[in-house]
C-alpha cells in the first residue's frame, strides 16, 4: 500500500515538475522575444519559411474541405428547403471551426514537424552548443524568431484556408448543384458577424499558432541529440500539438459561443 | 621551458582555494587555471582532483584515451557544465560562479572548434564565419566582408566562401570552423579533437593552422586530442589524462622519452599496458570452463 501511494505521489510530482518546466520554458521564450523582435528580418525569414511553404497544402485542403461542406450542407439543408442558406453554413463552419482547427492540424504536420526536426538536428550537430559558445543565446537567435514567425503565419494561413474553402463551397453549391448565386452570397453577408464570427476565428488561430509553434520548438530543443531522439520528438510534436489544438478548440468554443 | 603554475609569492594555494584570503587565485601568467576540480555525472566520477595551468600565449595539449575526461575539461572551461567542487578561472573570472550574463561576456573572448566543426548547415561558408561578427558587432557590411575574406584566406578557403557546408569536405569544414572560431580575435581558443577523421594532408594543414593562428593572434590555445604526432609537433606543453586524473605532464620532448608506463603505451600505441587490451572481468579459461580441469 505504501509503495502504491509512493508511486502515485512520485507520478504526480513528476507531472507537476514537467508542467513547471514547460511553463518556465514558455516564459523564458517570451522573455527572449524582445531581442528577436528587434531583428524583424529574422522573423520575416521564418514567416516565409513556415508560412509560404505551407501555402500549397493549406490551399488545396481548404478547397476540398469547402467543396465537401458544399455537398454535405446542400444535402442536409435541402431536406428543410433551406438550400439558400448554404453560403452561410459554409462560411460559418469555416470561419468558426474548420478554418482555424484544420489549418492548425495541417500546420502541426507540415511546419511543426519541420521546426522540431530542424532544431533537433541543430542540437545533434552541436550547432546550438556552438552558438552558446559564441555567446549567442540560441533561444533568442533561433527559437524566438521561429516562434513569432509561426504566430504570424498561422492566422494568415487560417484566413487563406477559410477564403479558399468558401470558394470551394461556391463551386460545388452554386456552379455544380445550382443553388442561387445571389442567395448564396447575400445569406453569407447578412449572417456573418465580424466580431463574433471572424474575430473569434482569428483569436482561435492565433492561440493555435502559439500552441503548435511552441510545442514544435520545445520538442526540438529538448530532443535527445540522436537520430532516434529527433524522430521521437517529431512524432511527439504532431501528437501533442494536435491534441492541444482539439482540446483548446473545445474550451474556446465553449467560452466564445456559449449563448 | 615554459613556466607553469605561478602563484603570488608566499600565498598558499589552499588558503586561496577556500576563499579565506580575498585574493583572486589566478595568476597573471596563466590565462586559465583549474584547481582541485571534481566533476561527475551522477555517481560516475569523470574528473578528480584536477589542477591544471594554461599560460598565456602558449599552446597546451590535453591528451588521453577515449573517456579520459579531456572534452569535459573544455566544457568546464567554457562553462557548458559546472563542476561539483573546485574552481575553473579564466582571465580571473571563476567560471563556475558566473551567471549567464557573465558567462556570455566571458565567452566573447573565447573561440571553440568543435570535433566535427558544428557549422550552421543553412548558412554558406561566408555567412558561417560572418556569424559572430554580425551577432557581436555593428561593423558595416563592407568591413565584415573584408574581415571574413581575410579569415577565410588564412585557412585557404577564400574561394569557397559561397559554398554550403554540405558542399565541402570534412577537412575543409574543420578549417571553416577554425576561421569562425577566431573571427573575433579571441584570447582563448579551444580545440576539441581537431584532427579526428582527417586524412594525413588535412591533419598536417590543420595542425599548422592551429600553431600559426595561435602565434599570429597572440592567443592561448587548449588542444584536446589523442593524435600523438600532430599534437607533439605543435604543442608547447602536454597534459596526459587517464580516468579523470593527470598522470603525466611535460613538454612534447619530455613526453616522448617519458618512462611513465601510461605515456609510453599511449605515445608508442602499444596494445597492452596500464590500459588493458581486455575488458576487465572473467578470464578466457573461466569462460571456456577450463579452470577446474587443470
Task: Tell me the pLDDT tens digit for each residue of B154-169.
Answer: 888 899 999 999 999 8
User: Is residue B13 scored above 50 in pLDDT?
Assistant: no
Closest among A91, A94, A110 to A51, alpha carbons compared: A110
Mean pLDDT, residues B85-109 taken together: 89
pLDDT digits (tens, 9 = 90+) for B214-273: 888 889 999 998 888 889 999 999 998 888 888 888 898 888 888 888 888 888 877 777
User: Is residue B7 scored above 60 in pLDDT?
Assistant: no
pLDDT at residue B27, rounded to an integer: 52
Closest among B144, B103, B86, B111 to B223, alpha carbons compared: B111
Q: Where residue B293 falls among pLDDT bands split at 50, 70, 90?
A: low
Where residue A37 falls (left for φ over 0; alpha for ψ -120 to 50; beta otherwise) is alpha
Q: Where residue B294 falls among pLDDT bands split at 50, 70, 90?
A: low
Nearest by CB: B108 against A121, A127, A135: A135
pLDDT at residue B18, rounded to an integer: 37
User: CB–CB of B120 and A126 under 8 A?
Assistant: no
Residues in A closer than 8 angstroms to B105, CB to CB, are: 135
Output Rg (C-alpha) for chain A, integer angstroms: 22
SS3 assignment, position A45: helix
Closest among B16, B10, B35, B64 to B231, alpha carbons compared: B64
Q: Which of B90, B111, B114, B184 to mutate to test the interface with A (most CBs of A within 10 A)?
A: B114
Nearest by CB: B80 against A127, A129, A137: A129
Q: Round to whole Å and give the CA distance between A163 and A169.
A: 10
User: Is residue B279 scored above 90 in pLDDT?
Assistant: no
User: CB–CB of A135 and B114 under 8 A?
Assistant: no
Mean pLDDT, residues A218-233 taken together: 94
Length of chain B: 294
Q: Round to whole Å and give the CA distance between B153 and B106.
A: 27
Number of neighbouring beta carbons within 10 Å of residue B150: 13
Phi, psi at B45, each rounded to 5°: -70, 135
Residues in B closer than 8 angstroms to A122, CB to CB, are: 120-121
Q: Which of A146-150, A160-164, B90-94, B186-190 has the lowest mean pLDDT?
A: B90-94
DSSP-assigned beta bridge partners for residue B35: B87
> Order of strands across the sheet with B93-94?
B44-55, B30-41, B85-90, B93-94
Q: Output the average pLDDT for chain B.
A: 83
Residue with the three cell numbers 529574422: A42
Mean pLDDT, residues B78-84 taken together: 89
- pTM of the complete model beyond 0.90: no
**Residue B111 C-alpha from the chain's centroid:** 11
A186 touches B at CB < 8 Å: no
pLDDT at residue A93, rounded to an integer: 94
A123 touches B at CB < 8 Å: no
Closest among A140, A152, A123, A134 to A210, alpha carbons compared: A152
> How open is the CA angle B111-B117-B122, to the nearest 5 degrees?
105
Compute the half-sphere exposure of residue B107: CA atoms within 13 Å on the CB side of its CA: 25
User: CB–CB of A130 and B107 under 8 A?
Assistant: no
User: Is residue A49 scored above 60 in pLDDT?
Assistant: yes
Residue A125 gets which letter from DSSP? T
Residue with the three cell numbers 569557397: B160
User: Is residue B16 scored above 80 in pLDDT?
Assistant: no
Residues in B closer than 8 angstroms to A134, CB to CB, are: 107, 131-132, 135-136
Nearest by CB: B118 against A129, A135, A137: A129
Q: A173, A179 in Cβ contact below 8 A?
A: yes
Phi, psi at B241, each rounded to 5°: -110, 140
pLDDT digits (tens, 9 = 90+) for A140-152: 999 999 999 999 9
DSSP-assigned beta bridge partners for residue B223: B61, B191
User: Is residue B135 scored above 50 in pLDDT?
Assistant: yes
Q: A33, A148 in Cβ contact below 8 A?
A: yes
Q: Round to whole Å and give the CA distance between A94 and A92.
A: 5
Quick one: closest CA in B to A133, which residue?
A: B107
C-alpha cell at A129: 552548443
Q: Where residue B129 falls among pLDDT bands split at 50, 70, 90?
A: very high
Q: B50, B240 in Cβ contact below 8 A?
A: no
Output Rg (C-alpha) for chain B, integer angstroms: 21
Q: A207, A248 in Cβ contact below 8 A?
A: yes
Closest among B186, B183, B179, B184 to B194, alpha carbons compared: B179
pLDDT at residue B28, rounded to an integer: 60
Mean pLDDT, residues B94-118 taken together: 89
pLDDT at residue A75, rounded to an integer: 93
Mean pLDDT, residues A175-200 taken together: 91
A126 touches B at CB < 8 Å: yes
Amino acid at each position: 500500500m505504501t509503495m502504491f501511494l509512493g508511486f502515485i505521489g512520485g507520478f504526480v510530482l513528476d507531472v507537476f515538475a514537467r508542467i513547471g518546466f514547460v511553463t518556465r520554458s514558455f516564459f523564458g521564450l517570451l522573455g527572449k522575444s524582445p531581442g528577436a523582435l528587434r531583428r524583424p528580418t529574422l522573423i520575416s525569414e521564418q514567416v516565409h519559411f513556415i508560412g509560404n511553404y505551407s501555402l500549397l497544402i493549406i490551399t488545396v485542403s481548404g478547397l476540398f474541405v469547402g467543396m465537401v461542406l458544399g455537398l454535405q450542407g446542400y444535402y442536409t439543408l435541402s431536406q428543410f428547403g433551406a438550400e439558400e442558406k448554404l453560403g452561410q453554413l459554409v462560411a460559418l463552419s469555416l470561419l468558426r471551426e474548420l478554418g482555424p482547427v484544420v489549418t492548425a492540424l495541417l500546420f502541426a504536420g507540415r511546419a511543426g514537424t519541420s521546426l522540431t526536426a530542424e532544431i533537433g538536428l541543430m542540437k545533434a550537430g552541436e550547432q546550438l552548443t556552438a552558438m552558446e559558445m559564441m555567446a549567442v543565446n540560441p533561444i533568442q537567435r533561433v527559437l524566438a524568431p521561429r516562434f513569432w514567425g509561426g504566430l504570424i503565419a498561422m492566422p494568415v494561413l487560417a484566413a487563406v484556408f477559410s477564403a479558399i474553402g468558401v470558394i470551394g463551397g461556391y463551386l460545388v453549391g452554386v456552379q455544380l448543384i445550382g443553388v442561387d448565386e445571389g442567395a448564396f452570397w447575400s445569406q453569407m453577408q447578412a449572417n456573418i458577424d465580424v466580431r463574433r464570427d471572424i474575430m473569434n476565428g482569428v483569436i482561435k488561430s492565433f492561440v493555435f499558432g502559439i500552441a503548435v509553434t511552441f510545442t514544435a520548438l520545445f520538442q526540438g530543443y529538448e530532443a535527445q541529440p540522436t537520430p532516434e531522439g529527433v524522430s521521437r520528438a517529431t512524432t511527439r510534436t504532431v501528437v501533442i500539438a494536435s491534441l492541444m489544438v482539439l482540446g483548446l478548440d473545445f474550451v474556446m468554443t465553449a467560452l466564445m459561443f456559449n449563448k | 621551458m615554459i613556466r607553469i603554475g605561478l602563484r603570488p609569492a608566499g600565498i598558499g594555494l589552499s588558503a586561496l582555494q577556500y576563499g579565506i584570503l580575498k585574493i583572486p587565485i589566478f595568476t597573471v601568467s596563466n590565462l586559465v587555471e583549474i584547481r582541485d576540480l571534481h566533476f561527475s555525472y551522477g555517481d560516475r566520477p569523470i574528473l578528480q582532483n584536477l589542477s591544471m595551468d594554461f599560460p598565456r600565449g602558449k599552446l597546451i595539449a590535453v591528451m588521453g584515451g577515449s573517456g579520459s575526461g579531456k572534452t569535459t575539461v573544455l566544457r568546464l572551461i567554457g562553462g557548458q557544465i559546472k563542476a561539483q567542487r573546485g574552481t575553473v578561472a579564466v582571465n580571473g573570472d571563476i567560471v563556475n560562479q558566473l551567471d549567464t550574463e557573465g558567462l556570455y561576456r566571458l565567452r566573447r573572448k573565447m573561440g571553440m572548434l568543435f570535433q566535427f566543426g558544428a557549422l550552421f548547415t543553412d548558412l554558406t561558408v561566408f555567412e558561417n564565419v560572418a556569424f559572430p561578427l554580425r551577432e557581436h558587432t555593428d561593423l558595416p557590411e563592407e568591413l565584415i566582408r573584408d574581415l571574413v575574406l581575410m579569415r577565410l584566406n588564412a585557412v585557404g578557403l577564400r574561394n569557397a566562401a559561397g559554398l554550403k557546408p554540405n558542399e565541402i569536405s570534412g577537412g575543409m569544414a574543420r578549417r571553416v570552423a577554425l576561421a569562425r572560431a577566431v573571427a573575433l580575435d579571441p584570447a582563448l581558443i579551444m580545440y576539441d579533437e581537431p584532427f579526428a577523421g582527417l586524412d594525413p594532408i588535412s591533419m598536417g594543414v590543420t595542425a599548422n593552422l592551429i600553431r600559426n593562428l595561435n602565434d599570429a593572434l597572440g592567443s592561448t590555445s587548449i588542444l584536446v586530442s589523442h593524435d600523438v604526432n600532430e599534437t607533439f609537433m605543435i604543442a608547447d606543453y602536454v597534459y596526459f589524462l587517464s580516468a579523470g586524473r593527470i598522470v603525466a605532464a611535460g613538454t612534447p620532448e619530455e613526453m616522448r622519452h617519458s618512462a611513465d608506463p601510461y605515456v609510453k603505451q599511449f605515445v608508442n600505441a602499444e596494445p597492452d599496458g596500464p590500459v588493458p587490451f581486455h575488458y576487465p572481468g572473467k578470464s578466457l579459461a573461466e569462460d571456456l570452463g577450463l579452470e577446474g580441469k587443470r
